[in-house]
Structure 1
Amino acid sequence: MDFGRLITAMVTPFDEQGEVAWTQVPPLIDMLIERQRTQSIVVFGTTGESPTLSDEEKIKLLDLAVRHAAGRCSIIAGTGSNDTKHSIELTREAEKAGADGVLLVVPYYNRPNQDGLYAHFAAVAQATKLPVMLYNVPSRTASNLEAETTLRLAQLPNVVAVKECGPTEQVAYIAANAPEGFRVYSGDDTASLSALSVGAYGIVSVASHVVGARMSEMLAAHAGGEADQAAAVYHSLLPVFKGLFACPHPVPNPVAVKYALQLRGFEVGGVRLPLVEAAEDEKRYIERFMADFD
């Protein structure tokens, strides 16, 4: 399964009461496909505020995304959690709903060792026929899926990719030693070009909500051997990459990108507690870098 080079981890639209704004999902998907040129969409990943979505909301969101995308892009369901049994159940529901693949995050809070991580991912992968993308994000999970464990999991027939937010040398080692066809994706927009330079295939992005078309240009230039052009595009996008996560000090994702989308005319609402909306100085900062990019 090839999910393409540009994957967007989609926000979940909410209304003023904090409920899922179902009518806003289709136009958001259309915009990501048609304007931002995303090739796959992750629904209810971290950017989609998965910890505060119920299973019922997740499956309804997935069903809507699958039906509306109608094959125009792949739909990946974020079915990972720190409860293996629950991840298996949600993954099976995602398979029934027509997902094209699943994204499985490293179990958070429990802090399993590498044998536990392998056993967790293997159990979920073996419970489904769907392609599996692993998701290593040590800054959120307090555990690092080490490169050797990723490579061991890559031997399983339906474990096809990893979204890697670890150090560049880990990206490089996995890319150099993975079986043929296994894809490594950068999970950090800011680190995307350095990850590509050491063997990453693509990006699972937040910034692609607002600069996806330009990111596609960067990816195409890099894949085509035009390193200088890829670097030039990257440098032009860096203020957006950095600004969405540090405006003017670090803010939790997806607070900034939801406000950036609002500035672009897409009403995706606010965030659910325990997240809170951007403060006024943060909003002014977002407005400035978005205006500079426009």
Structure 2
Amino acid sequence: MVTPFDEKGEIDFSACERLIDHLIATGTDVLVVAGTTGESPYLTADDCQKLFHFCVEYVAGRVPIVAGTGTNSTKSTVERTRMADAAGVDAIMLVTPYYNKPSQDGLYAHFEHVASKTSLPVMLYNVPSRTGCHLQAETVIRLAEIENIAAIKEASGDLEQIAAIIERTPDSFAVYSGDDGLTLPVLAIGGDGIVSVAAHVIGDEMKQMVEAFLSGQKEEAATAHRQLLPVMKTMFLAPNPSCVKYALNQMGVAVGEVQLPLIPLNDIEKKQVDMVLGSLSTIKK
């Protein structure tokens, strides 16, 4: 979920209400808050605490809530995890520590330590293109043995790695694509779903595609995947979540602008997003 901001750069909780209603109404099964798409590097610990409490209270059990509590400090990750636990979220998502570049043993120790400080289910998050830190399959397989490490959001783009994780972790360990464009390929090798950015714009269509595949309608799912790829690709023309925030605003779901160091789209980028939004009526038929 993107984080709506007002003109002063503060969280706009009224806009959060409208956004949450929009997401739930268009097929979102679980809300992930304060993740990359939520501009987590911009959010202070106080922002996160307020956002976690607000989302739990407003959602009121309609869907589960996963809180992004990972930072590049094990200490602060534990602190944010405790905040999320106290707020009543259903699970946490832990990104690999960025900038520090720990070893694989260091990554194992980090995630093991944080998991030991909470009873909440933990979703690991591997996104080396953003963090400069790659969580290797062997390390994920070791971590999956820890009771409350229950899932991974895999955004490495490496289908061989994802296949190895699926093959060598317990059936109860869920593997989600972290890339919209790999949703169907990840499902095809045994993955469990998608932690999606594009679902802000094409939520119903994404859900229909996943459900078609899982119900054995492979051709229908493949057709939907091909039709939706241009939308998925366009949502990443500029650093996420710049495009999806612009698209939401154009759709009448006001979420404000991205915050520095991210910047709003330029005119050329806006035209490209507008063109894709204009084509959605054809896809949605």
1:81 aligns with 2:81: no
Aligned match of 1:115 in 93, 98, 105? 105
Instruction: Report SS of the residue matched to 1:103.
Output: strand
Name the counterpart of 1:125. Answer: 115
Choose the corresponding residue for 1:136, options 121, 126, 146: 126
In 2, the alpha carbon distance for the partners of 1:153 and 1:213 equals 33
User: Normalising to structure 2: TM-score of the pair?
Assistant: 0.97
Partner amino acid, structure 2, of 1:91: T
Partner-residue secondary structure (3-state), 1:163 = strand
Shift of 1:180: 2.2
Q: 2:180 aligns with which of 189, 193, 204?
A: 189
Structure 1 residue 154 corresponds to structure 2 residue 144: yes
User: SS state of the match for residue 76, structure 1?
Assistant: strand
Secondary structure of the 1:64 match is: helix
What letter matches 2:162 in structure 1? V
Give 1:191 deviation, angstroms. Answer: 1.3
1:60 aligns with 2:47: no
Q: Are residue 289 (structure 1) and residue 276 (structure 2) matched?
A: yes
Q: Secondary structure at the match of 1:68?
A: helix
Identity across aligned pairs (percent)? 50
Unaligned runs of 5+ in 2: none
Aligned to 1:105: 95
- Name the CA distance, whole Å, in 1 between partners of 2:162 and 2:179: 12
Which residue identity lines up with residue 272 of structure 1 in the other structure? Answer: Q
Aligned equivalent of 2:171: 180
Aligned to 1:28: 19
Instruction: Tell me which of the two structures has the higher relative contact order, counting C-alpha pairs closer than 8 angstroms and 6 or more residues apart.
Output: 1
One-letter identity of the residue aligned with 2:271: R
Distance 1:293 1:268 in 2: 20
Contact 1:171 1:199 in 2 (8 A): no
Whole-Å separation in 1 of the counterparts to 2:138 and 2:189: 17
Per the alignment, residue 234 of structure 1 pairs with 225
Alpha-carbon distance between aligned partners in 1 of 2:129 and 2:191, rounded to the nearest angstrom: 20
Output one character per residue of 1:219-275: Cα deviation in whole Å (capped at 9) or x when no partner: 1011112111110111111110001112xxxx1000000000011101100011000
Where structure 1 has 5 or more consecutive residues not aligned to the other structure, the ranges are: 1-9
In 2, the alpha carbon distance for the partners of 1:91 and 1:25 equals: 21
Letter in structure 1 aligned against 2:225: Y
Matched with 2:266 is: 279
- Distance in 1 (CA, whole Å) between partners of 2:223 and 2:64 is 29
Which amino acid is the alignment partner of residue 283 of structure 1? K
Q: Aligned partners of 1:262, 1:272: CA distance in 2, in Å?
A: 15
Pairs aligned (count): 280
Structure 1 residue 197, shift from structure 2 partner: 1.0
Q: CA RMSD in A?
A: 0.7
Secondary structure at the aligned position of 1:191 is classed as: helix
What do residues 134-163 of structure 1 show as CA deviations (whole Å, max 9, x unaligned)?
000010111110111001000011000000
Where 2:41 maps in the other structure, the secondary structure is: helix
Name segments (4+ residues, structure 1) moved above 2 Å: none
Residue by residue over 1:175-202, the C-alpha shift from the partner in whole angstroms, topping out at 9 and shown as x without a partner, is 1111121000000001111111111100
